[in-house]
Amino acid sequence: MIEGGWMAWTFPVALFFFVIATLLITFTLLAIRYPETPRTGILRIETTRGDRLFITLLGSAFINLAWLFFVGPTLVWALALCLVYAVAVFRWV
């Protein structure tokens, strides 16, 4: 057991938080520089880039949890599936 901290800061954990922070900053700058009007996709709700990012992150979390449950701890193919899912969300939602 690791003493002295509530979380094991490994490279993958730090990379995960770095990517999420970078996405949030990038999408904030995009919203400031290129404002958009909401669009209606296949879900029949109005979404913006930020909404689609949230849907993508939430869906990716569920994809990874299901992958861990049904397949095991090798998440390389789950990441590929998440990228395909992200492209689909940003294209059609």
**Confidence (pLDDT) at 4:** 54
The CA distance from 48 to 4, in Å, is 42
Structure confidence at residue 89 (pLDDT): 97
Question: Within a domain: residue 27?
Answer: yes
Residue 3 lies in a domain: no
5 in any annotated domain: no
* Domain coverage including residue 44: 11-92
Decide if 74 is inside a domain: yes
Which class for 56: exposed (0-12), middle (13-18), buried (19 or more C-beta within 10 A)? buried
pTM of the model: 0.83
Give the whole-angstrom CA distance, residue 28 versus residue 50: 8
Read off the pLDDT of residues 29-59 as tens digits, 9 standing for 90 and up: 999 999 989 999 998 999 999 999 999 999 9
